[in-house]
Chains A and B, each alone.
Chain A
């Protein structure tokens, strides 16, 4: 497993949610991201935490939709922050270090023609999250975890 940035949320989540998604179902990523955002607003997280979580949730969901056959986005909310886990059945990532570089993309030309797959997904997640981890098996799928942690005074 490749781990980037700060670890991690450990407390029991008070709320766990799961969004199922199929590859190529583009609308679901935005819907999931805006529903997650609404819940975080209702809990009263700071706008900055909400903004970063929304970006990460959207990118993680888009990764499933663009690359995988199907997958799940799991949301873990606790008082200290938010954990997002994207688990997919798909091609996996052959070279994780390469995929973390901006502009690197394996998206098919048809996906790129739609304006997606610019190779910004993983770097964007890394930039907006406090930490992330990737576990991947070529031909099987990828599990991506990311954390957004509320700063404590």
Chain B
């Protein structure tokens, strides 16, 4: 195997805050976390930056690495890309123009709605579906956590991902077409997966963005000044179609034919399994979003996902139905240029014969475990502990039930031995032996 590739991850651990509980290991969709030495450890090549661990951590020890507001000052002309999900964080009375004005007040020179770019992507996806009549279904590439989930857990579905660029990259291209000088393009991100997709893109050589800020941070910065600013003219820039992308089901509305929308990473996994089993071949298109209710429910957002979804729905109603004047975008901007390759990380050994032996050992080890999936060993399930044992990352005695059972047996043996008295002693167990 070639050298281990380096992975950038937005999701990180703040070691001091981690108590070594097992909440994050249990919820991780790619079994990418273990607890070792009382702290969570992320297995780099498995992490897809979905942010589930950030969501469930009771001690707020999991965090997302993002740029901070002060970082935009590195550029003469910082531009903010606002995704529709950001609008969902505010009541629908707060207009997009007001939000844009507030973003300018905190330092951005220009603001571009990602919803505008989503409209180009909607058209490109429709074209792609027409040009690729089989196989079915095809899967949206818009959610970077889902793309990485497929790379890690569903390698055979990688070819079903639609090779159309995600809206934020298209938005960055539009911003740069219009821009001048030393421009810095920043995304206001609802999730760590999009931050990672900027630092380490899949399907393209490099990102057109310079960074991403946490939606929660930006929300906190503009909330106090929303009342003080006058709405900027020229908003909305996008139409109803593109603005609906921030909530689940919105993307599907732009696609004709039988399509399915799924949200929440564990539901996405179920759908991927059904696709793999050949159950969804009568669907054209699968919209799949890692977060509950869609991007509005990302783990860097502030509002409840379902409240945010409703807010966005109402805001989108104020957007024009038809598409107005739109800048031209070069066709190549809309297509992914690099293959989406599966991450081959589950193989138990590089050598297939050895891998088979290890799988056999894994099955044997699994049988000796209690099947309670308690997580006390630091692995998310008994099956995973068995896998870790086979990979040399754990021992079977890491299972506390297994250990207790061994201690019990040992104790019984000790009691048994303690009861034994040498035959030379009175009351000993030795029987009278007839020496003749």
Contact = CB atoms under 8 A, between A and B. Distances in A.
B348 A43 contact: yes
B407 interface: no
B359 A39 contact: yes
B352 interface: yes
Interface in B344-361: 344, 346-350, 352-353, 355-360
Interface residues of B, number: 27
Contact of A59 (B278, B344, B353): B278
Interface string A92-110: 0000000000000000000
A114 to B, nearest CB: 13
A47, A50, A55 — which one has the most chain B CB atoms within 10 A of its CB? A47
Given A33-B277, A58-B279, A128-B278, A42 B360 contact: no
Contacts of B355: 42-44
A38 B362 CA distance: 12
Nearest to A59: B278
Interface in A47-84: 47-48, 50-51, 54-55, 58-59, 77, 79
B274 interface: yes
A15 B347 contact: no
B177 interface: no
Nearest to B273: A34
For this complex, into which size category does the number of interface residues on chain A fall? 20 to 34
A41 interface: yes
Contacts, number: 70
B278 A44 contact: no
Contacts of B356: 14-15, 43, 77, 79
Given A14-B360, A15-B360, A47 B342 contact: yes
10 contacts: A14-B357, A17-B363, A30-B277, A34-B273, A34-B276, A41-B155, A42-B359, A50-B156, A55-B276, A55-B278
Interface of A: 14-15, 17, 30, 33-34, 37-39, 41-44, 47-48, 50-51, 54-55, 58-59, 77, 79, 124, 128
Given A33-B273, A43-B355, 9 more contacts: A17-B363, A38-B346, A41-B347, A42-B348, A42-B387, A43-B359, A44-B348, A47-B156, A79-B353
